[in-house]
A = this chain, B = another copy of it.
């Protein structure tokens, strides 16, 4: 079962990767993960385990909790945007 955090975590990973100017291949290599698996994580199609979160975070040079926190921030921003659109529609 996926959740908003799974999707927003994926967006946070993609943003952090792009901020480094890395391809998915490079992040996958540095994280010792499969390239297509990294793609699936970024699209929120698979649920990362704590070990995978750690591998990605270490590659990206941040603590695992910071990467999860970025995911929470993305989810929060999406929620605010949704409320804003709902308010415009009312």
Interface of A is mostly: helix
Interface of A toward B, CB cutoff 8 Å: 1-3, 5-6, 9, 47-51, 53-54, 63-66, 68-69, 71-72
Partner of A47, one of B2, B5, B51: B51
User: Nearest-CB distance from A46 to chain B (Å)?
Assistant: 9
Give the Cβ gap from A87 to chain B, nearest Cβ, in Å: 25
Which of A5, A50, A65 has the most chain B CB atoms closer than 10 A to its own CB?
A50
* Contact of A65 (CB < 8 Å), options: B2, B51, B68: B68
Q: Tell me whether A72 and B68 are in contact (CB under 8 A).
A: no
Q: How far is the CA of A3 from the CA of B50 in the complex (A)?
A: 9
